[in-house]
Structure 1
Amino acid sequence: MQLKYPTTPTKELTLDNGLKIITGEISQATDAYIDLVYKVSRCNELPENADINIILSSLLLNDNEYIPSPDGKELTSFHLDDFTSYRQRVRLADLDVAFSQLATMMSAPKMTEATLQKVIKRKNSHRAARDIFISNYLTPQEVTELLYPFSGYSNNPDGTPTSLSRLDLDQLQQWHQRWYMPNNATLIVVGNVSADNIFSLAEQHFSAIPHKPLEDFKYDKEAAEPGKRHIEVRKDTKEPLAIMAFNLPDFDFLKDNPNALGALDIIVELLNNYFRLMPGGSGAARKILNQNSGIFFLSVKAQSADQTPSQLESGLRTYLNELKRNPIDAQSLEHARENILTRWAGWEHNPSALPYLLTTYHYAKLPLDSRAQRYQALLNITPMDIQNFANTYFTEQRMTTAHIFPMAGSPE
């Protein structure tokens, strides 16, 4: 196992108007990978304008020019819990044009009524299909609302027919003016690029966009111990499914507690190994660490309709109780640790993965070179750290459970 973390060299610059620029130099990459990230998400929406953030992105992508990528893929937007990211792969020779187009989308984008109506119509027509639940990685809206009652992470990413009918170009332009400004954005460029060249191009295309006052927004954090919560819902799925989740501290807390964060990383890997070997059904374990909440999320899908969500949940409880009672064996710990470190090393040299990693460190106010410290912390995790984490955070007061049933039949 490597004892030195293979971090990709990065450089940073902030323009006078507040735009933050980060470069990652990967010499073996043939193209440049651009992420233009704005600190805005569905958390900033209200019920009356639900889905305005995604609708705006659709208009920007449909009504404005952007250069195609070498593989034919288009500029795309990704809507994360805390951010909105515009991602593009371009040839090195096309960086100048790409920056010019992204700067136009930030400063003076086109938006048309025809596109707005087309996007709303498409949203509403796909609404029923999006409510089908067949995956361990897609959480029903009803469960999301139970997990996030305060922070805004449960705001419906699809809006409602009523909220969409209220949207007009004036509201979209106001939303753009409120959030799309250089001092609320980070430009990340990764690939076989020269930092000096990227800084020069960014200065050329973005520096004339004025800094604007950023309105205060009150972000609410989720409760640490909200009490046991449970819900049962029916979805268009053939097999039952069980969800178990635990409230954790947000990323701001865990970043200052490397042992706790490392133990959580190991536990997620242990559970996913357990699911891969599970004879019946399939499952997934995830940690969801945001700026205003933290969730440890487990989902298990039955192998057949004969299994009940209660049986699936019982298996999860048995595994977690074992983690609490007994330290894991050294072989399991090392196997999990090696898998994580190998995956992290791959992200460092993957030009399509590194921008997101750099985004999370930047907005968590962590030095970019502290990625190596997290690697070292993981090397130091012991079975006792894992046992302590499980006993601290996997409690009834932090627990949410959900049982997902097929539309036919009756609940247990």
Structure 2
Amino acid sequence: MRTRRKRLLLFLATPLLLAGLAARAGAAEVVETTLDNGLKVLVLPDDRAPVVTHQIWYKVGSVDEPGGITGIAHMFEHMMFKGTENLGPGEFSDIVARLGGEENAFTGRDFTAYFQTLAADELETMMRWEADRMANLRIDPEEFSREKEVVKEEWRSRMRDNPNARLSQLLYATAFTSSGYHHPIIGWKTDIDAYTVEDLEHWYQSHYAPNNATLIVVGDVEPETVFKLADRHYGAVERRDLAPAKPREEMEQHGLKRANLVIPAKLPRLSMGYKAPSLVTAEDSRTAYTLAVIAGILAGDSGARLHNELVRAGKLSSADAGYNLNARETTLFTVNAVPRDDQSLDAVEALLLEQIERLKEEPVDEDELDRIKAQVAASDVYQRDSLFYQGMKLGVYETIGLDYRLADRFVEGVRAVTAEDVRTVAREYFRDDGLTIATLEPKDDDSPALPSPTGGMERVH
């Protein structure tokens, strides 16, 4: 997930952040409507301060990109700030700044979103100009050429020169064969080089329509007032007939996959990923809630197993685990570790697999389960203090294809998980025929370097 100002790729990996995305969104207070052009509008009043967050979520992300233009969703996000028929390049951001507000945007695998947080009495101004971007974006060739260089520099600094990001990229590219999760959010370098204005214009016409978006407003507002403003500004944007997305179902895996990355790096690292259902793809939502609990058991806090039993005990330099409950498609449950000095990656793998096998064989102690559930409840309370995250909870659920009301059931779902659920789910999904292991080996100065599409020497087998 990429933020525009800080140029960050944020991955929803830690269990506590997952809890934050899925925690109670005050669903009983959410008021909704759908405009005639198909735009869904969700309003969550919160009058603790005279402030509002205004968010527009498009149901398109990197998972929707065909081969040859990977990363186009991220590139297009940049261009949304480069002017419309009514505003010059950067003028949208200037308006937000003059109003004393904050703005940003992010591209994820499953969505693209734009938001502003500002005084509640300036909401109509934001609606006017965000609707203008939805309807009247102008893609200037010179601005596009300059911004493509910015994206290429971002790729160099965030991907090519970041060994951990390269390893994560290799893990997903190896684990997923036909799913859109195969390629990185920022795209492959060769595709970035080949973008054209026509590619961007086609992306705009194919995805940036009111009937492919959700408007979310959280703050010191009256729902009916928001609906009238939304109809006045967004309602004037014409809906479009959008082609249904082609199926990108992931091919069945028939054995353990391995990949090795040999590039200049300070430390070796091992990443494991098990194919796992999300809340969208799980036949039983209890499975997804259990996987979120397992991520907490392994890496929820400093007392979790990976840190307490491996890192603090001096067996590993660092270790973590992550699971994205809110993915549109089958996702990965990941476990990562950095060895101690002179420790082999084989030894690291053995230690991590031992922890996985323990989940399958030994019932989790009730005190341990209770601690994880308490963490989730605390995160829920904390996240509700933020207007932005209240809106984000709603946006994530709606955009990946779930009813936003399900966000209200996350804590309840986690609290229902039992020790036997943990063993059952671990046994079903933590198997070799769903496992990919990627390793990073620092390259010696005198080692031969073989060119590859991602700029390093990689071996997959």
Q: Which residue of 2 aligns with 1:393?
A: 429
1:90-115 deviation line (CA, Å, top 9, x unaligned): 22121111111100100011221221
1:308-358 deviation line (CA, Å, top 9, x unaligned): 322222111111111111101111111111111211232234212122211
Q: Which residue of 2 aligns with 1:151?
A: 179
Q: Which residue of 2 aligns with 1:265?
A: 292
Please, which of 301, 306, 316 is the counterpart of residue 275 of structure 1?
A: 306
1:46-57 map, 5 Å: 46-57=66-77
Whether the 8 Å contact between 1:132 and 1:236 is mirrored in structure 2 is: no
Please, which of 6, 11, 15 is the counterpart of residue 35 of structure 2?
A: 15
Instruction: Find the aligned partners of 2:432 and 2:122 in 1 and give their Cα distance.
Output: 54
Q: Which residue of 2 aligns with 1:241?
A: 269
Structure 1 residues 358, 226: closer, same or farther in 2, change over 3 A? farther
Whether the 8 Å contact between 1:269 and 1:340 is mirrored in structure 2 is: no
1:43 paired with 2:79, answer no
Structure 1 residues 70, 344: closer, same or farther in 2, change over 3 A? farther
Q: Which residue of 2 aligns with 1:297?
A: 334
| AA matched with 1:174 | H
Q: Which residue of 1 aligns with 2:454?
A: none
Q: Which stretch of structure 1 is more off in the superposition, 263-272 or 366-375? A: 366-375
Instruction: Find the aligned partners of 2:376 and 2:166 in 1 and give their Cα distance.
Output: 23
1:191-270 map, 5 Å: 191-223=219-251, 225-254=253-282, 257-270=284-297
Could you list the runs of 5+ residues in structure 1 that have no partner in the other structure?
none
Whether the 8 Å contact between 1:27 and 1:191 is mirrored in structure 2 is: yes
Instruction: Find the aligned partners of 2:298 and 2:400 in 1 and give their Cα distance.
Output: 26
Whether the 8 Å contact between 2:269 and 2:338 is mirrored in structure 1 is: yes
Q: Which stretch of structure 1 is more off in the superposition, 347-356 or 365-374? A: 365-374
| AA matched with 1:311 | A
1:114-157 deviation line (CA, Å, top 9, x unaligned): 2111112223344433223354x775322221122111122343
Whether the 8 Å contact between 1:21 and 1:186 is mirrored in structure 2 is: yes
Instruction: Find the aligned partners of 2:198 and 2:102 in 1 and give their Cα distance.
Output: 27
Instruction: Find the aligned partners of 2:133 and 2:291 in 1 and give their Cα distance.
Output: 39
Question: How far off is 1:5 after superposition?
Answer: 6.2
1:332 paired with 2:368, answer yes
Structure 1 residues 391, 142: closer, same or farther in 2, change over 3 A? same
Q: Which residue of 1 aligns with 2:359?
A: 323
1:383 paired with 2:419, answer yes
Question: How far off is 1:369 after superposition?
Answer: 3.0
Instruction: Find the aligned partners of 1:114 and 1:228 in 2 and give their Cα distance.
Output: 47
Say which SS state the counterpart of residue 327 (structure 1) adopts: coil
TM-score, scaled relative to structure 1: 0.90
Instruction: Find the aligned partners of 2:67 and 2:406 in 1 and give their Cα distance.
Output: 38
Say which SS state the counterpart of residue 335 (structure 2) adopts: strand
Structure 1 residues 261, 47: closer, same or farther in 2, change over 3 A? closer
Whether the 8 Å contact between 2:56 and 2:114 is mirrored in structure 1 is: yes
Instruction: Find the aligned partners of 2:420 and 2:252 in 1 and give their Cα distance.
Output: 23
1:228-286 deviation line (CA, Å, top 9, x unaligned): 101110244311111111111243233x5232222111101011122333223222211
Q: Which stretch of structure 1 is more off in the superposition, 196-205 or 60-69? A: 60-69
| AA matched with 2:168 | P
Say which SS state the counterpart of residue 334 (structure 2) adopts: strand
Instruction: Find the aligned partners of 2:358 and 2:98 in 1 and give their Cα distance.
Output: 50
What do you get for the CA RMSD once the two structures are aligned? Answer: 2.5
Q: Which stretch of structure 1 is more off in the superposition, 324-333 or 144-153? A: 144-153
Question: How far off is 1:39 after superposition?
Answer: 1.2
Instruction: Find the aligned partners of 1:297 and 1:275 in 2 and give their Cα distance.
Output: 13
The percentage of counterpart residues that share the same residue type is 22
1:34 paired with 2:71, answer no
| AA matched with 2:267 | E
| AA matched with 2:144 | L
Structure 1 residues 379, 288: closer, same or farther in 2, change over 3 A? closer
1:146-195 deviation line (CA, Å, top 9, x unaligned): 12211112234334554344433233222211111000011111122221
Instruction: Find the aligned partners of 1:332 and 1:39 in 2 and give their Cα distance.
Output: 38
Could you list the runs of 5+ residues in structure 2 that have no partner in the other structure?
1-22, 448-457
Question: How far off is 1:300 after superposition?
Answer: 1.2
Q: Which residue of 1 aligns with 2:349?
A: 313
In the comparison of the two structures, how many residue pairs are matched? 405
